[in-house]
Amino acid sequence: MNLLTNPQNYEICFTICSLMVLFVTVFVHATEEHYYSRQNDIFGGLVFNAILMNVLGLVHKVWIQSDFVRNSISYQAVCVLGMLEKACIYVMPLLSMLYCMAIFHIEPSTIWKKAILFLPTVYSLMVVFSVIFTDYFYYFDQNADTKYRYFQGATVNVNVWLYLVFAAYLIFRYLKTLSSEKTIALVIYFFLMAAGIPIRILTKSSSIFEFSVSIALLLCVYTFQNPGEFVDRTSGAGTKKALDFTISTYLLQKKSFTILGIYIDKLDVILSEETAETASELLRQIADYLRKMCTDGSLFYSSDSTFALVIPNVRPEDVIIEKTTDQIKKRFKDSWNLRNTEIKLFQSPCAIGFPDEVDSLERFNEVRTVMKKALLRHNRDVLRIADLNLKYVEHDKKIDGIVKRALEDGLLDVYYQPIYSPSEGKYTSCEALVRLKDPKLGFISPAAFMPVAEKNGTVLDIDRFVLDSVCEMISTTGITDYGVEYVEVNLSIVDCIQANMADNVLNTLKKYNVQAKNINLEITETWEKDITEVMDTNIGRLIRAGISFSMDDFGTGYSNLSRIALLPLKLFKLDKSIVQSAFESETSYMVMINLIKIIKSLGKEIVAEGVETAEQAGQVIRLGCDHIQGFFYARPMTKEHFIEFIKEHNS
C-alpha cells in the first residue's frame, strides 16, 4: 500500500490507471460483436501490445521502488524486461498505422510497399535490441533506467514521426468518408501518439505516454470499433452505414469491385411474423452461409430483405460471380431449419460493378431503389444494371432540375379551390394549391413534382412561398369580408419536422397582419415515432396561437385512430378515392359511411374531397359532411378568378 500512497511513486499509479482503462477497453471490445475482421485483428494486437507495454513498465517501476521485488528479480532480468517494454513502445506506431489503413481498407499492394511500411519499425527494433551487444545507442543505469546517448539514441523517434506524417496524409485524403466524430477521434489518437515523444523526453517517464495510448484505444473502441453502428445486431452482418462507408472508401481509392445483392423474397414479412429470437436465428443462419461466399467477409444486411456481398477486384461478368450465385441458388433450394420448423426462402441475385457501372454512393442509392423494384419481378439469372429501366431515376432528376429552376425564376403560382358549406349555402373556405408552369414543358402537376420536392428539400421553399402568397392574398383582397373564413394550406411532413416551423409560420402571418383563425393547415398521417414528436410540438405551438389543423387524405393511410383522436384537429378531409369509389361498390360505400361515423363520433368537422357529380354531392350532404370540395362546385383557379367567384357566389 505504501508503494501506492507515496507521492514519489506517481508513475506506478499512472500505469495502474492506464491498465484499468485498457481492461475496460478489452471488456467492451470482447463483449460486443465485431464486423471488420482485419481492423479487429489489428485492434486486438494494439490492445495486447499496450497491455504488455504497461505490465512490463509496471514491473520495472516496482522493481526500482520495492526492495522485495528487487530481491526476487535480478538486475539482468529487469533490463531484459525494460528492453521488451521499449520494443512494445516502438511497435505501437506501426500497429496504429496498420489500424488506420485497415479503417480505410488500404492494403499495401506490393511487397516493396509492405517493406517500406515496416522499415522504420525494423530500424527501431534493431536499436532497441542493440543494447545486448553494444551501448552505442543507449544503456541501462544501476536502476535499470534507460540512458540514451544523444544523438544516435534519439534517431529511433524518427520512425514515429514518419508514421505520423503518413497517418496525417491518410486522414487528410480520406476525410470525406469519415463522420466528424471519427475524424476527431483519429486526429486525437495520432496527436496523443505524437505528444507522447516530447513528453517522454521531457519527463523522462514513459507512463504518461502509456496512459495516453490507453485513452486513445478507449476512444477507438467507442468510435471505430463501435459495433452498434457497423454491425446489424440481428444478423451479425454489416449495416447499411458500414456498406456506404466501404463503398465510398473503395471508390476514393479507385478500386474496382462488385456488389452482389441477394434479395430474399418477403424476408421482412417472414421475420416480422417470428419472435425476435427466431428472426435473429434465421438471419444469422443466412448471414453465416453468405459470409463464407465472400473472400474477405464483407457481408452487409440492410434490413430491407437484401444482403450485399462486396467482392473486391471482380467485375459482374467474371466467372466467380456466376459460380457464387449458382452455389447460393443451390443452397436456397434446401430449406432453413429453425427450431422445429423448416422455412423455404426464395432469393434473386443482382450484381453491380463499381466504378464502371456505378461510380458514386449517390448513384448507388438511386440504383438500389430501382433494382429492388425490379428484383421483386425477377428471379432467374443475375439482374444487371443494363436490365433496369432507369427512367424513374432520370425522370426524378429532370423534375428536380425543373423545380429548382421554377423557384429561382418565380415560375410558381398559387391556385385556390373554393370549398362549399351546405349548411350555410356558401363557400366558407378554400384550399391553396401550388401550380408550376414550365416555359418549355407547360403545366406540371403537383402530384408529379411534390414527391421530388420532398426528397430534395425544395418543398420547404415551395410551402413557404405558398403560405406567403396566401397571406398576401388575404391581406390585400379582404376576402374574409365575403364569407371565406379560412384558407387551407398544405404542409408536407418535411415542414412538420423542422424545429423552426412554428416560428416561420407565425412570422409570415405577422408580416401580412393576417389573423391566425384565417389559416388552416393540412397535414397527413405519419407513424414514425421521432417524426410525430417534433410534429406534435409544432402543432401544439400553432394551435395555441389560434391556427387550426386538418387531417388531409383521411382514409388512405394506416391510421392509428387512437392517436388521431388525441390530435387537436378541427377538420378531417375524406380522401377523394374514398368518396369516388363509394359510388362504385357497396363495400366502399360502407367504408365511407363508417369513416364518417368515426369522425362524427370524435366531434370533428368533415370535408368530402373529389366530389364531381350532383349525385355524389347530394349523397355526401345527406351523410352529414360539413364541407364539400370538388370539381362539381369549382376547380382550382387563379387568385383573380377566385376573388370574382367568391364575390359572385357568396353575396
Which residues inside 436-465 make contact with ligand C2E, applying CB under 6 A?
445-447, 450, 459, 463
Q: Give the residue, chosen from 629, 639, 642, 646, that forms a contact with ligand C2E under the rule CB under 6 A.
A: 629
Q: How far apart are the first and last CA of the chain?
A: 97
Q: Cα–Cα distance between 462 and 492 in angstroms, integer? A: 10
Q: Which residue, 561, 557, 569, 563, is CA-closest to 607?
A: 569
Angle between helices 111-129 and 75-103 (to 10 degrees): 160
Rule CB under 6 A: say whether 417 interacts with ligand C2E.
yes
How many CB atoms within 10 Å of residue 387? 12
Q: Which residue, 357, 398, 392, is CA-closest to 373?
A: 392
How many CB atoms within 10 Å of residue 272? 9
Task: Name the residue nearer to ligand C2E (CB basis): 133 or 443.
Answer: 443
Instruction: Tell me the number of residues near Ca ion by CB under 5 A.
Output: 4
Q: Which residue, 481, 423, 474, 429, is CA-closest to 651?
A: 481
Region from 181-189, 385-393, 403-411, 518-526 binding Ca ion, contact rule CB under 5 A = 518-526
Q: Give which of ligand C2E, Ca ion, none residue 630 binds (C-beta under 5 to 8 Å, depending on kind).
A: ligand C2E
Query: Nine-digit cell at 79?
Result: 533490463
Q: Give the residue, chosen from 166, 553, 592, 626, that forms a contact with ligand C2E under the rule CB under 6 A.
A: 553
Q: Give which of ligand C2E, Ca ion, none residue 631 binds (C-beta under 5 to 8 Å, depending on kind).
A: ligand C2E
Task: Name the residue nearer to Ca ion (CB basis): 11 or 552.
Answer: 552
HSE-up of residue 610 (Cα within 13 Å, Cβ side): 14
Taking the complex as a whole, how short is the minimal distance between the CB of residue 542 and ligand C2E, in angstroms?
A: 16
- Per-residue HEC secondary structure of 516-560 comes to HHHEEEEECCCCCHHHHHHHHHHHHHHHHCCCEEEEEEECCCCCC
Rule CB under 6 A: say whether 550 interacts with ligand C2E.
no
Taking the complex as a whole, how short is the minimal distance between the CB of residue 442 and Ca ion, in angstroms?
A: 23
Instruction: Tell me the number of residues near ligand C2E by CB under 6 A.
Output: 22
Q: Cα–Cα distance between 251 and 255 in angstroms, integer? A: 6
Region from 369-377, 500-508, 522-530, 598-606 binding Ca ion, contact rule CB under 5 A = 522-530
Contact letters for ligand C2E, residues 461-500 (x by CB under 6 A): --x--x-----------------------x-x--------
Q: Give the residue, chosen from 82, 227, 316, 636, that forms a contact with ligand C2E under the rule CB under 6 A.
A: 636
Q: Give the residue, chosen from 544, 631, 644, 647, that forms a contact with ligand C2E under the rule CB under 6 A.
A: 631
Q: Give which of ligand C2E, Ca ion, none residue 513 binds (C-beta under 5 to 8 Å, depending on kind).
A: none
Q: What is the DSSP letter of 73?
A: S
Rule CB under 6 A: say whether 552 interacts with ligand C2E.
yes
Contact letters for Ca ion, residues 548-587 (x by CB under 5 A): ----xx----------------------------------
Rule CB under 6 A: say whether 555 interacts with ligand C2E.
no
Q: What is the tally of helices (H) and strands (E) in the chain?
A: 26, 18
Q: Which value, in Å, is the radius of gyration of the alpha carbons in the chain?
A: 34
339 Ramachandran zone, left/alpha/beta (phi>0; psi -120 to 50): left
Taking the complex as a whole, how short is the minimal distance between the CB of residue 633 and ligand C2E, in angstroms?
A: 8
In contact, 114 and 122? CB cutoff 8 Å:
no
Rule CB under 5 A: say whether 495 interacts with Ca ion.
no
Q: Cα–Cα distance between 62 and 69 in angstroms, integer? A: 7
Q: Cα–Cα distance between 1 and 4 in angstroms, integer? A: 5
Contact letters for Ca ion, residues 113-152 (x by CB under 5 A): ----------------------------------------
How many CB atoms within 10 Å of residue 158? 12
Q: Give the residue, chosen from 232, 522, 525, 626, that forms a contact with Ca ion under the rule CB under 5 A.
A: 522
Q: Give which of ligand C2E, Ca ion, none residue 447 binds (C-beta under 5 to 8 Å, depending on kind).
A: ligand C2E
Q: What is the DSSP letter of 628?
A: E
Cis status, amide bond into 108, omega within 30 of 0: no
Task: Name the residue nearer to ligand C2E (CB basis): 95 or 466.
Answer: 466
Taking the complex as a whole, how short is the minimal distance between the CB of residue 470 and ligand C2E, in angstroms?
A: 9
Q: Cα–Cα distance between 324 and 333 in angstroms, integer? A: 14
Which residues inside 566-625 make contact with ligand C2E, applying CB under 6 A?
576, 610-612
Distances (CA, A) of 202 to 87, 127, 136, 209, 334: 20, 21, 22, 12, 67
Q: Give the residue, chosen from 49, 157, 490, 629, that forms a contact with Ca ion under the rule CB under 5 A.
A: 490
Taking the complex as a whole, how short is the minimal distance between the CB of residue 414 and ligand C2E, in angstroms?
A: 7
Q: Residues interacting with Ca ion, by CB under 5 A? A: 490, 522, 552-553
Residues interacting with ligand C2E, by CB under 6 A?
417, 433-434, 445-447, 450, 459, 463, 466, 490, 492, 552-553, 576, 610-612, 629-631, 636
